[in-house]
Structure 1
Amino acid sequence: MPGGRLTQQERQQIATGLADGLAYAEIGRRLDRPTSTITREVMRNGGPAGYRPELAQRATEQRAHRRRRSARQAKAAPDAYGRDPEAVREYEETLTTVFIASGTPRMMARVMACLTLSDSGSLTAAELAERLEVSPASVSKAIAFLESQDLVRRFREEGGRRERYGFDEDIWYQSMVASARSTAQVAETSRQGVAVLGRGTPAAVRLENAARFLDFVAETMLRASEQAREVLHANPATAPDGAAGPRPDRG
């Protein structure tokens, strides 16, 4: 029924729709479900190519079991800020789905979401494994990947021997700069191909136009990142009208 949990039969219909090449919106219409529900269901269960209805059903049952257990734990240890634990868990799943849709592998996306929503800003490997209910090896693999992408920092506990993992204020800035530089490298490589293929030929024109486009995008990303960097260090509560920093020029 609309608004309730997906049934096993609906999951089978999703798999059939994916096999037939239907868009998420069309599958949603046929099931009388929001497109976002179909997108989240597919992305959290292997993506379009790896979606299996029986595995998705089993994963849902396991998540429900974890929620019930977490709810019992939450009653024993209430949230320090008075937040609704169920709402926080639902949002963490939504955030994880967004990270997956952006190209982040599922386990790495779960770690990113968990760290993002941690009030302390960092967690040990053991804490991550406990919160995500996965093996330490899975956490270690995810952390290694995220570190290689400069998406996670490694901290040493003051006066302790344990390492913590988390974000610092500049991690999103560094990520954007790295992306801009990668885009600029593609632009430069495209430009090199113009001479090889002969200036004015169809292929060379295509490469030259791509290089100009990518150059513009890379320069804009770098400039915008520099202009907005201060937002990462701002306190939104002190900004007038909730505006914590510069806004994109919509002119």
Structure 2
Amino acid sequence: MELAVRSGLPRTTARVHIDLLLSEDGRRTAAELTRRLGVSPASVSAAVNFLVEYGYVRRERDPQRRRDIYVVDDHAWYHSIVISAQSTLESARAATAAARTFGPDSPVGQRLARGGTYLERVIQDMLESAERWRTLLK
């Protein structure tokens, strides 16, 4: 868990993620997470919302019990990479746009253009690699 916290996950979010990863079927309800981790339902909700937003977990609806089930599966690794890459790609494109604003001859414009180009190319490589190796998750 400490590794997840050091990588930027809030402590409760890390605990929820790890509990889901280590569950036999990768599935838990909010009530199960609350009980297992000894945290409030609001804490579980906030943690799950974060994990869903970044692609680590998905929600499924249990129509019989009328509640959400939170699921982590092998595809979560792929989805989290894609979501993170899209966010970084937005930053790269913003840097490139800002470089045009400052002008290609200014030091700021040059620095932003280089940084934006670098990020965009690295992220494109990462996305291609994630797609190429996706079959390992099936």
TM-score (norm 2): 0.89
1:169 corresponds in structure 2 to 74
- Shift of residue 194, structure 1, vs aligned partner: 2.2
- Shift of residue 158, structure 1, vs aligned partner: 6.3
Q: In structure 2, what is the Cα distance between the partners aligned to 1:149 and 1:181?
A: 11
1:156 corresponds in structure 2 to 61
Structure 1: runs of 5 or more not aligned: 1-95, 234-251
Alignment of 1:104-123 (within 5 A): 104-123=9-28
Root mean square deviation of aligned Cα:
1.6
Q: 2:37 aligns with which of 115, 119, 132?
A: 132
1:195 matched to 2:73? The reply is: no
Deviations 1:24-77 (A, max 9, x none): xxxxxxxxxxxxxxxxxxxxxxxxxxxxxxxxxxxxxxxxxxxxxxxxxxxxxx
Alignment of 1:25-104 (within 5 A): 96-104=1-9
Greater Cα radius of gyration, structure 1 or 2: 1
- Shift of residue 182, structure 1, vs aligned partner: 1.6
Q: Secondary structure at the match of 1:156?
A: strand
Q: 2:126 aligns with which of 206, 211, 221?
A: 221
- Shift of residue 197, structure 1, vs aligned partner: 1.2
The AA in structure 2 aligned to 1:145 is F
Q: Secondary structure at the match of 1:177?
A: helix
Inter-CA distance 161–198: structure 2 relative to 1 (3 Å threshold): closer
Q: Secondary structure at the match of 2:84?
A: helix
Structure 2: runs of 5 or more not aligned: none
Q: In structure 2, what is the Cα distance between the partners aligned to 1:173 and 1:97?
A: 22
- Shift of residue 128, structure 1, vs aligned partner: 0.9
Q: In structure 2, what is the Cα distance between the partners aligned to 1:162 and 1:197?
A: 52
TM-score (norm 1): 0.51
Q: In structure 2, what is the Cα distance between the partners aligned to 1:217 and 1:104?
A: 23
The AA in structure 1 aligned to 2:59 is R
Q: In structure 1, what is the Cα distance between the partners aligned to 2:99 and 2:61?
A: 49
- Shift of residue 200, structure 1, vs aligned partner: 2.0
Higher strand share: 2
Q: In structure 1, what is the Cα distance between the partners aligned to 2:84 and 2:42?
A: 29
Deviations 1:67-122 (A, max 9, x none): xxxxxxxxxxxxxxxxxxxxxxxxxxxxx111111111111111001101001210
More relative contact order in 1 or in 2 (CA 8 Å, sep 6+)? 2
- Shift of residue 227, structure 1, vs aligned partner: 0.7
Q: In structure 2, what is the Cα distance between the partners aligned to 1:145 and 1:215?
A: 25
